[in-house]
A and B are shown apart, each in its own frame.
Chain A
Amino acid sequence: MPLYDILHDTVYRYDSAVMLSQQIAHLRPRDAAGQHCLSHSLTIAPEAARRVERTDFFGNPVTGFSLYAPHDTLAVHARTRVHVEPALWPAAADSPAWEAARDHLRDGLSGHAPLQADARDAGQYRFASPFVPLGDESLRYADYALQSFTPERPMVEALLALSARIHADFQFDPAATSVATPVAEVFDRRRGVCQDFSHLMIACLRALGLAARYVSGYLLTEPPPGQPRLIGADASHAWVAAWCPGLGWVDVDPTNDVQPDTGHITLAWGRDYGDVCPLRGVILGGGGHSAEVAVTVIPVDEMAAHDDQAAGADGHAPE
Chain B
Amino acid sequence: MSEVTKTGATPYDEMYTADGAVRPHYRPYAQWLEEVPRALIERKRSEADIAFHRVGITFNVYGAEGGKERLIPFDLLPRIIPGHEWSELERGLAQRVRALNAFLADIYHDQEILRAGRIPADQILSNAQFRPEMKGVKVPGGLYSMIAGIDLVRAAGADGSGEFFVLEDNLRVPSGVSYMLENRKMMMRLFPDLFSRYHVQPVEHYPDLLLETLRAVAPAGVVDPTVVVLTPGAYNSAYFEHSFLAQQMGVELVEGQDMFVQDDVLYMRTTQGPRRVDVIYRRIDDDFLDPLAFRADSMLGVPGLMRAYQAGHVTLANAVGTGVADDKSIYPYVPEMVRFYLGEEPVLNNVPTWMLREKDDLAYVLEHLPELVVKEVHGAGGYGMLVGPASTRAEIEDFRQRILAAPEKYIAQPTLSLSSCPTFVEAGIAPRHIDLRPFVLSGGKQVRMVPGGLTRVALKEGSLVVNSSQGGGTKDTWVVD
Contact = CB atoms under 8 A, between A and B. Distances in A.
Interface in B91-126: 111, 114-115, 117, 119-122, 125-126
Contacts of A280: 292, 296
Contacts of B196: none
Interface in A200-217: none
B121 A109 contact: yes
A177 interface: no
B263 A50 contact: yes
Contact of B126 (A58, A66, A127): A127
Count class of interface residues, chain B: 20 to 34
Given A22-B261, A115-B114, A127-B125, A109 B120 contact: yes
Given A124-B132, A127-B122, A24 B292 contact: yes
B302 to A, nearest CB: 10
Would you list the 3 A-B pairs with minimal beta carbon distance, nearest first? Answer: A111-B120, A109-B122, A282-B303
B475 interface: no
A119 B262 CA distance: 39
A52 B264 contact: yes
Contacts of B291: 282
Nearest to B408: A110
Interface in A62-117: 64, 66, 68, 106, 108-112, 114-115
Nearest to A112: B120
Nearest to A133: B128
Interface in A168-196: none
A22 B126 contact: no
Contacts of B264: 50, 52
Interface in B217-260: 260
A50 B263 CA distance: 6
B125 A123 contact: yes
B236 to A, nearest CB: 22
Contacts of A123: 121-122, 125
Interface string A113-132: 01100011001101110000
Interface of A: 20, 22, 24, 49-50, 52, 57-58, 64, 66, 68, 106, 108-112, 114-115, 119-120, 123-124, 126-128, 136, 280-282
Contact of B111 (A57, A120, A127): A120
A57 B133 contact: yes
A20 B121 contact: no
B304 A111 contact: no
Contact of A114 (B117, B132, B262): B117
A112 B120 CA distance: 8
B135 interface: yes
Interface in B286-317: 291-292, 296, 303-304, 307
A22 B121 contact: no
Contacts of A114: 117
A111 B121 contact: yes
A106 B119 CA distance: 14
Interface of B: 111, 114-115, 117, 119-122, 125-126, 128, 132-133, 135-136, 260-264, 291-292, 296, 303-304, 307, 357, 405
Nearest to B135: A57
Contacts of A22: 261, 292, 303-304
17 contacts: A24-B292, A52-B264, A57-B133, A64-B307, A66-B263, A66-B304, A68-B262, A106-B122, A108-B121, A109-B120, A112-B120, A115-B117, A120-B114, A120-B121, A128-B128, A280-B296, A282-B296
Contacts of A136: 405
A219 B405 CA distance: 41
Contacts of A50: 262-264
Interface centre among B111, B122, B296 (most CB of A within 10 A): B122
Contact of A128 (B126, B135, B292): B126
Nearest to B294: A130
A110 B122 contact: yes
Contacts of A109: 120-122, 125
Nearest to A114: B117
A106 B114 CA distance: 14
Contact of B115 (A49, A52, A112, A115): A115
B303 A58 contact: no
A44 B291 CA distance: 22
A126 B125 CA distance: 8
A128 B122 CA distance: 12
Given A22-B303, A123-B125, 10 more contacts: A22-B292, A57-B133, A57-B136, A111-B119, A115-B115, A119-B121, A120-B121, A127-B126, A282-B291, A282-B292
A157 to B, nearest CB: 27
Contacts of A127: 122, 125-126
B361 to A, nearest CB: 13
Contacts of A66: 262-263, 304
B407 to A, nearest CB: 13
B125 A124 contact: yes
A105 to B, nearest CB: 8
B12 to A, nearest CB: 36
Interface centre among B125, B264, B357 (most CB of A within 10 A): B125
Contacts of B296: 280, 282
